[in-house]
Amino acid sequence: MKRLAGWTLASPATLLVVLFLVLPVAATIVTTFVTPGGPFATYAGFFGSGFRRTVLIRTINVSLVVTAIALVIGFITAFVISRAPGWLKSILIIAAVFPLLTGVVVRSFAWLIILGKNGILNTLLVNAGILDQPLTMLYTQGAVIVAMVYLFVPLMILTLVGVLEGIPDDLIQASSSLGAKPWATFSQVIFPLAVPGLIVGAVLVFTGSFTSYATPQLLGGEQVMMMGTLMYQQAMVTFDWVAASTIAAVMVVITITIVALMNSAAKRLNPMTV
């Protein structure tokens, strides 16, 4: 009876998800198999193109690098916030969340001003005598990575703060009192308990980076094209909706695969992870 009541309560939300998420995605994927050249012709064309393979590999590499950097920065920041006094913790959380109050496009434009040839960073380096002439920072893979890390680190911090706050201080103190060094305490006590939050944060950052459009378009341009910008180009510039649907299908499959691998890794690192 309780299970039936639960399904009854969840049915409206489930219906909305099916209608507005599952069915549109399924319809998009189905169109890629209904082509004159055969059911897999569009995928053969995608993976047979050296340019598209390069864009796919670049997107995966950038997303993994952004995820790794965000994990390190987010974990350290979240640990400091979780151990801060109450009043300071509130201030630090507000500071971490503050960038989320502005849109992605606005934050990406801010990096245009910072990294441009006549931007803030180049001006400071030239005036300080470190550089003789401005560096070319925009429209590089590094610029895209830096901007994406800035975009997604707040999500990682918010995900990890709650998890790290849930680790009792008594466990850390007991580990120290039993003679464990700080690294041993981290690797054997703190890290295993933080694995669920790390996996959730990594999934959020990776999927956000992998499907991002505005930031790669503004800071990478044609030189550092990624899957999101390629899909937009196919759909809105060349009006090849089948090719755009194929790119979307490939992105969905890769995202699901990466998420499954992360969940598998989480279960190995922490058997209590669901």
Residues 212, 58: contact at Cβ < 8 Å?
no
Which pLDDT belongs to residue 274? 42
Which pLDDT belongs to residue 273? 45
Residue spans of alpha helices (H) in the chain:
2-17, 23-33, 41-48, 50-82, 86-97, 104-115, 120-127, 141-165, 169-177, 182-185, 191-210, 214-219, 227-232, 241-269
Residue 81 to residue 164: CA distance in whole angstroms = 9
Model pLDDT for residues 203-247, shown as the tens digit of each residue: 999 999 999 998 999 998 888 899 999 999 998 888 888 899 999
Which pLDDT belongs to residue 2? 63
Tokens found for residue 133: 């002439």
Buried b (16+ CB within 10 A) or exposed e, 212-231: bbbbbbbbbeeebbbbbbbb
Which pLDDT belongs to residue 171? 80
Which pLDDT belongs to residue 64? 93
User: Which residues of the chain register pLDDT less than 70?
Assistant: 1-6, 269-274
Which pLDDT belongs to residue 105? 87
Residue-range domain boundaries for the chain: 65-225
Rounded to two decimals, the pTM is: 0.88
DSSP codes of every residue in 160-193: HHHHHHTS-HHHHHHHHHTT--HHHHIIIIIHHH
Residue 139 to residue 84: CA distance in whole angstroms = 39
Which pLDDT belongs to residue 70? 95
Q: Which residue reads 């070319």 in tokens? A: 136
CATH fold label, 65-225: MetI-like fold (1.10.3720)
